Structure 1
Amino acid sequence: MKALVCILLLLETFVFVVQQQVDGGLNENEISQQISSEDGRQNPPKTDTLRAEASTDRQQYCDLGIPDIHAALRELTATVTEQKENIRELTTTVTEQKGNIRELTATVTEQKENIRALETQLREQQMFILEEMNKKDEEISNLTLSQVELRKENRDREIAFSASLMESGSGYIGPFTTEITLTYRNVFTNIGNAYNPITGIFTAPLKGAYMFRVSVYGHAGTAASVYIIKNGEKVVSAHDHQAQNPDALNSSNGVVLILEVGDVVYVRLWSGRRIYENQNIHNTFSGFLLFPLREQELCRM
């Protein structure tokens, strides 16, 4: 610090001298005289003594500051050397950190690639799952439609009926001089409404194989005989006759018929024959669809 003050004082004196030379071209004697005159005007008579003391102090101060300058320079050099070493260490550290950063950057880039690959794989899996779900939904929808159609088809196939002659009371039917169609008015079952209790006629709503059965009951003395008729043609009969035995007459028969849509089946009482009915319900007519037939199945049969 002392060295710096000394140097500043010397520089100040040097600048002053140079400035005076530039301004007036004064020589050293003139400068000294001017300084002396100015000191005489501004200071009391003791100025020379004070100037001498100040000059002596300044010289001593500067002399004392020179060793301080060398020490400061040595200290500064050591500091600079230390800072250079620190800079080298910092440079090495920075270089190492840059390498670490590059490694981290490469790792991050690799991880990003992995993440993108995983995202792509996840999207593909999601698309696959969605496609599978859509397929399952479509299969379920088709299955549901098939079930609905099957139920509807099964409902269409649910054809069956059963009926007896009289809804109430008792009595004979016949004999007649011609054959008559019997009307079984007491309906027990008529699934599909293919049987008409007013006319006594069953009309086939589907092509298929149908089972029909008829039973008759009568009293001795007059035969009890009926036919199952298909489209006006006799198919099978149920007949019983006992001229001498007073016991009741009983007979039944059945048949499986292949019917087209619109074919009719009914029961006729023979001419001259008689049947009897009461609350015990002896005379019945029934039928049902065994299974529907397609055209090719009918051809094989």
Structure 2
Amino acid sequence: MRKMVRILCVVTVLMIALDHAFAEAQVDLRLEISHLASQLKMLTQRVQQDEEMLRQCRDQEEKVSSLQRNVDQLKWQLRNVTALEDVIEKVRWSKNKISTPNRRFARSSDPTEVAFTAMLNTELNDVPIHTTVIFDFLIYDTGTNYDDSTGVFTSPTSGLYLFSVFIETHSVNTEALVNLMKEGQPYMFVASDRGNDVEDNTGGNVCLLTVNKGERVWVKTILHDKQSFWIGFTTFSGVLIHPH
């Protein structure tokens, strides 16, 4: 009987101990759950904040993209306006150019005084290769040595001459290329390349050349077809600097 009482006491003590341990475990579990819930709430708030920041960044990116599109459109419009102003100015200059196509100045009977300058007064387009460029407006000539109907200079006096050639292409992405020719032989190259509608790119070169009396000098296209030349900027000049 005493043995049974002892066993019951032990069991009772164990039950009390288990109840106490279970109660403590429940308290710890509630605390852990509460802590996890608090962390989850903080993480949820942080995710919401990050999502809001991401949305704002996307809105800003859309605004930047929209502004960039507007800037690109304005640049395109500005290029068109600038190109149009350039064309208008050149057309105005063309309309106001000197109306006499064969004006000559300072004619001299001295055979040692030889000089001329001729300018392109008519726009040229789709010029094929191996074509003589005719500078059809004679600005200055001491005689009748440059023929503005053929583009050829004929030397009246043997000597050392200085020649200059300047050209400007009218077409975008189509290079203009010419040679200075003397009696069929090339002596100098000139090139002009225009990258866009608003860019002016005049090419020029000079050459010292011995030319005998009666020999001819002219400018000829080379390398490819469909070249173009702009008025006013395309010129051909020569001067005798030392007669022989």
Calculate the TM-score normalised by the size of structure 1: 0.42
Within 2, Cα distance between the matches of 1:163 and 1:250?
16
RMSD, aligned CA:
2.2
For residue 158 of structure 2, what is the aligned residue in structure 1? Answer: 207
CA–CA separation in structure 2 for the residues paired with 1:246 and 1:199? 32
Q: Does 2:230 align with 1:286?
A: no
Any unmatched runs of 5+ in structure 2? 1-107
Unaligned runs of 5+ in 1: 1-152, 294-301
In 2, the alpha carbon distance for the partners of 1:175 and 1:196 equals 20
Distance in 1 between residues matched to 2:217 and 2:179, nearest whole Å: 10
Partner of 1:189: 140
1:152-301 correspondence runs (5 A) = 155-166=110-121, 171-176=123-128, 178-218=129-169, 219-242=171-194, 247-270=199-222, 271-278=224-231, 281-293=232-244
Q: Tell which deviates more after alignment, 230-239 or 264-273.
A: 264-273
Rg: which structure is higher?
1
* Consecutive aligned runs of 4 or more in structure 1 exceeding 3 Å deviation: 242-246
Instruction: Give the Cα–Cα distance (whole angstroms) in 1 for the partners of residues 135 and 127 of structure 2.
Output: 17
> Which structure's residues are more often helix, by fraction?
1
The code of the aligned residue for 2:110 comes to R
Q: 1:283 to 1:244 in 2, by over 3 A?
A: closer
Query: Shift of residue 188 of structure 1?
Result: 0.7
Pairing of 1:19-98 with structure 2 (within 5 A): none
Label 1:165 to 1:261 Cα distance change in 2 as closer, same or farther (>3 A).
same
Query: What whole-Å deviation, never above 9, does each CA across 1:241-264 have from its counterpart, x for those lacking one?
Result: 355786233100110111111111
CA contact 1:228–1:266 (8 Å) conserved in 2: yes
What code does the residue aligned with 2:160 have?
Answer: A
SS at match of 1:222: coil
For residue 199 of structure 1, give the secondary structure of its aligned residue in structure 2: coil
CA distance in 2, matches of 1:164, 1:244: 24
Task: Give the residue type in structure 2 aligned to 1:240.
Answer: S
Give the TM-score normalised by structure 2.
0.51
Report the counterpart of residue 131 of structure 1 in structure 2: none
CA contact (8 A) 1:220 1:249 kept: no
Look up the equivalent residue of 2:176 and give its one-letter code.
A
What is the total number of aligned residue pairs between the two structures? 135
Residue 199 of structure 1 aligns with an amino acid whose one-letter code is T
8 Å contact from structure 1 (residues 224, 249) kept in 2 = no
The structural deviation recorded for 1:268 is 0.7
State the percentage of identical aligned residues: 24
Q: Is the 8 A contact 1:238 1:252 kept in 2?
A: yes
Paired AA for residue 199 in structure 2? D
Higher relative contact order (CA 8 A, sep 6+): 2
**CA gap 1:172/1:184 in 2 versus in 1, 3 angstroms:** closer
Do 1:209 and 1:257's aligned partners in 2 also have CA atoms closer than 8 Å? yes
